[in-house]
């Protein structure tokens, strides 16, 4: 029995207590000739996942719907018939309720949400298919209690930039609680508010960018199922905004996660979907990253020709990047990013010389600390493969120093992998570098 997070979220939105809901249901029941004597303990049981009997679910919809000035369905309050078929695409109003319920459950650290495994196969593909294909949202306007203004949207955009920088400096573990708290306190009331279509599209775009950051932080915290749900939410918000470029950016995040999960064919297909569906809306920076990740996926599948073709496309797109003409979301595609992606692909293909050339070029270009750690880790690995222990030790030491203070599961994975490769080399110098990494890893997250 899973907690009813949808009912919990709607109760929070309505601002009604457990005892208050029970009293209103008893009153609504009397109007129908029913003798009900519910108390707050019954509502607590429903929130834990118990299903109310008889007509009570309909009464809950009636009471909460009157409070919120909109009609509610049983699905909206998490009391739809179990096993009943769902529509292939979620209507936007229902999506908002489910999205905000997830944010609330994440902030409350509900285990069934935080520890949920990532889905694979058809459930993983459907959100991407729905983004790429009709129907589109013809009107995203909404009537609610809070009127949304452009200053609200500007606030969301500023928050996205703020939390992205925090993530880069401190890592996803430290940033996640803050961005999720902001989603609940600020973004949720706006999404449930009142806005015309044009304002609504900008609102959904700004919220989508912020939700993507929450997904990145969850991914960096090893909460892969939760990260995936945030990415799927961001993709649905991107569709509502009408911004194909934002959708392609979110799919790039899904491609990266697919690579981590070793779903290489899925990574290729997702990247192809983003490149195909976004058309002229895709920017050179995003195209270069998608092609580079495709190259890595092809290389891991053993398809050298496919990998090299994508490398060429990635490099061509990277040459066309003009930073001032890129949206905020693609700011992560800094100089050298494509090089380190290409280095990883060439390493998988066994081209150590080409891999080292690209990894050295990546390390030689400016990057934020987080990106630099990944670049140094790649160069360390390649140097070890080539038997260059001195270069491996020097880069490993710099990598470890850069990583200190960052609360990130992904960076710890990188450090552990480098430490294992250093230990395997067997020299005294590499052993000292491995001990330095051990010290960094002993710091708890």
Per DSSP, the three-state class of 195 is strand
User: Could you tell me how many residues make up the chain?
Assistant: 445
**For tokens 């229902």, what's the residue?**
94
Category of 239 on φ-ψ map: left (φ > 0), alpha (ψ -120 to 50) or beta = alpha
Q: Using one digit for the tens of pLDDT, what is the confidence trace for 224-268?
A: 999 999 999 999 999 999 999 999 999 999 999 999 999 999 999
pLDDT band for position 12 (cuts 50, 70, 90): confident
Residue in the structure block whose two tokens are 């969850």: 218
Q: Which residues, 6 or more positions from 173, have their beta carbon under 8 angstroms from its beta carbon?
A: 217, 220, 221, 407, 408, 409, 445
| pLDDT exceeds 60 at position 132 | yes
Can you list the alpha helix ranges (DSSP code H) found in 193-303? 197-220, 224-241, 244-260, 264-278, 284-300
Residue 86 pLDDT > 50: no
Hey, what long-range contacts does 313-318 have (CB within 8 A, 24 or more apart)? 313/287, 314/287, 314/288, 314/289, 314/338, 314/341, 314/342, 315/288, 315/342, 317/284, 317/285, 317/287, 317/288, 317/291, 318/284, 318/285, 318/288
User: Where exactly are the structural domains of the chain?
Assistant: 5-82, 92-242, 368-445
Gyration radius (Cα) of the chain, Å: 24
CA atoms within 13 A on the CB side of 100: 24
Residue 429 CB: number of other CB atoms within 10 A?
A: 15
pTM of the model: 0.85
pLDDT tier for residue 145 given thresholds of 50, 70 and 90: confident
- Residues 261 and 253 sit within 8 Å (Cβ to Cβ): no
Does pLDDT of 273 surpass 90? Answer: yes
pLDDT in tens, 93-103: 889 988 999 99
83: pLDDT strictly greater than 60: no
For residue 76, the 8-state DSSP code is G
Residues 317, 293: contact at Cβ < 8 Å? Answer: no
Average pLDDT over residues 375-402: 94
Q: What pLDDT sits at residue 5?
A: 85
pLDDT tens for 16-58 read 899 999 999 999 988 888 889 899 999 999 998 899 988 899 8
Alpha helices for 337-443 (secondary structure H): 337-348, 352-363, 369-385, 389-403, 409-425, 428-441
Instruction: Calculate mean pLDDT across residues 313-326.
Output: 94
Backbone φ/ψ region at 15: left (φ over 0), alpha (ψ -120 to 50), beta: left
């Amino acid at each position: 029995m899973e907690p009813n997070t949808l009912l919990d979220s709607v109760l929070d939105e309505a601002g009604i207590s457990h005892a208050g809901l029970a009293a209103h249901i008893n009153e609504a029941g009397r109007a129908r000739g029913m003798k009900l004597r519910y108390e707050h303990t019954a509502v607590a049981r429903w929130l834990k996942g118990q299903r109310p009997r008889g007509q009570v679910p309909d009464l809950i919809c009636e009471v909460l719907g009157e409070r919120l000035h909109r009609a509610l369905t049983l699905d909206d309050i998490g009391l739809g018939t179990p096993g009943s078929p769902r529509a292939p695409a979620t209507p936007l109003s229902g999506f908002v309720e489910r999205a905000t319920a997830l944010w609330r459950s994440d902030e409350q650290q509900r285990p069934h949400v935080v520890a949920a495994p990532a889905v694979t196969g058809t459930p993983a593909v459907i959100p991407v298919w729905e983004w790429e294909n009709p129907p589109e949202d013809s009107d995203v306007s909404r009537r609610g209690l809070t009127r949304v203004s452009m200053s609200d949207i500007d606030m969301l955009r500023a928050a996205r930039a703020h939390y992205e920088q925090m993530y880069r400096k401190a890592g996803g573990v430290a940033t996640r609680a803050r961005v999720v708290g902001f989603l609940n306190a600020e973004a949720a009331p706006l999404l449930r508010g009142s806005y015309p279509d044009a304002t609504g599209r900008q609102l959904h775009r700004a919220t989508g960018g912020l939700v993507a950051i929450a997904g990145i932080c969850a991914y960096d915290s090893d909460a892969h199922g939760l990260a995936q749900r945030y990415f799927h939410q961001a993709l649905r918000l991107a569709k509502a905004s009408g911004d194909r470029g934002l959708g392609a950016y979110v799919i790039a995040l899904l491609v990266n996660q697919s690579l981590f999960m070793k779903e290489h064919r899925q990574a290729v297909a997702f990247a192809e979907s983003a490149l195909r569906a976004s058309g002229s809306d895709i920017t050179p920076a995003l195209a270069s990253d998608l092609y580079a990740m495709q190259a890595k996926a092809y290389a891991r599948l053993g398809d050298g020709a496919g990998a090299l073709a994508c490398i060429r496309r990635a490099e061509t797109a990277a040459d066309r990047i003009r930073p001032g003409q890129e949206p905020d979301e693609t700011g992560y595609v800094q100089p050298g990013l494509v090089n380190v992606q290409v280095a990883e692909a060439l390493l998988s293909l066994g081209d150590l010389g080409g891999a080292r050339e690209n990894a050295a070029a990546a390390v030689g270009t400016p990057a934020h600390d987080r990106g630099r750690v990944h670049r140094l880790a790649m160069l360390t690995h390649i140097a070890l493969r080539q038997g260059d222990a001195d270069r491996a030790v020097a880069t490993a030491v710099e990598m470890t120093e850069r990583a200190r203070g960052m609360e990130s599961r992904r960076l710890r994975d990188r450090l552990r992998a480098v430490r294992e490769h250093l230990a395997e080399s067997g020299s005294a110098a590499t052993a000292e570098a491995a001990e330095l990494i051990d010290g960094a890893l002993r710091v708890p997250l």
